[in-house]
């Protein structure tokens, strides 16, 4: 839902203030969203002074210097001057932009809370730290592996775990011919949503961990 809303937001932004893209390193950051809520159109940006813009940016992002806020304000004003629309062609675009921004802010807050809960629950599981000892496996991927695989005891051999993820090699033969170069089967459990590269790293790079 978050990704779908981001796409809808982008489509509306292109109809209202397309030049706003690129002002902030992350278009979906909180400061970017709040600036757009305060100044959603080129017309609203040009209606205030650059100093007022800088003050607003500094207020929304107190962790950064005022010089940074001033630079962003200059970029916002330049973007407003370049923008093909001074005001939205349809009032509904402005309403939709406001709605999608507020939805995305809520999604970000909700997802952040979920991540904290996941981290807290994962820390209680012994395998969480063991899996992270594998090179390339971080906290989020380790939690994903644990949640997808469930009780590891149900796999009494690493090859069964490989087959569950669909990483086992496929077999192609016809008559007396048997292929020697085969791709992975990808026929594992439909419930397993772990990226192949992630699980292959966990199983093949460190077989002891899968055991």
Q: How confident is the model at residue 211 (pLDDT cuts 50, 70, 90)?
A: very low
CA atoms of 203 and 97, how far apart (whole Å): 46
pLDDT confidence of residue 158: 77
Cα dihedral 46, 50, 55, 59 sign: positive
- Per-residue pLDDT tens for 39-98? 999 999 999 999 999 999 999 999 999 999 999 999 999 999 999 998 888 889 999 999
Quickly state the pLDDT bin for 209 (edges 50, 70, 90).
Answer: very low
Six token digits for residue 153 = 């005891």
Average pLDDT over residues 137-148: 84
Structure confidence by residue, pLDDT tens digits, 108-142: 999 999 988 988 888 888 888 888 888 888 888 88
Residue spans of the domains in the chain: they are 2-117, 125-210
Report the distance separating Cα 153 and Cα 149, nearest Å: 10
pLDDT at 176: 56
Asked if residue 158 lies in contact with residue 203, where contact means CB atoms within 8 angstroms, the answer is yes
Element (DSSP H or E) covering residue 60: helix 50-60
Q: What is the pTM of this model?
A: 0.66
Q: Is 163's pLDDT higher than 80?
A: no
């Amino acid at each position: 839902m978050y990704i779908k809303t981001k796409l809808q937001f982008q489509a509306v932004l292109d109809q209202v203030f397309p030049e706003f893209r690129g002002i902030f390193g992350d278009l979906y950051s909180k400061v970017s969203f709040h600036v757009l809520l305060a100044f959603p159109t080129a017309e609203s940006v040009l209606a205030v002074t650059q100093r007022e813009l800088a003050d607003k940016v500094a207020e929304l992002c107190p962790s950064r210097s005022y010089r940074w806020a001033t630079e962003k304000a200059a970029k916002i004003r330049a973007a407003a001057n370049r923008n093909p629309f001074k005001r939205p062609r349809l009032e509904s675009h402005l309403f939709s932009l406001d709605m999608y921004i507020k939805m995305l802010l809520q999604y970000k807050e909700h997802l952040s809370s979920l991540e904290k809960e996941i981290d807290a629950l994962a820390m209680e599981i012994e395998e969480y730290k063991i899996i992270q000892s594998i090179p390339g496996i971080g906290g989020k991927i380790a939690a994903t592996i644990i949640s997808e695989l469930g009780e590891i005891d149900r796999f009494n051999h690493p090859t069964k775990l490989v087959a569950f993820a669909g990483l086992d090699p496929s077999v192609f033969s016809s008559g007396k011919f048997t292929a020697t170069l085969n791709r992975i089967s990808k026929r594992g459990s439909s419930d397993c949503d772990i990226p192949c590269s992630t699980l292959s790293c966990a199983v093949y790079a460190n077989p002891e961990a899968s055991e």
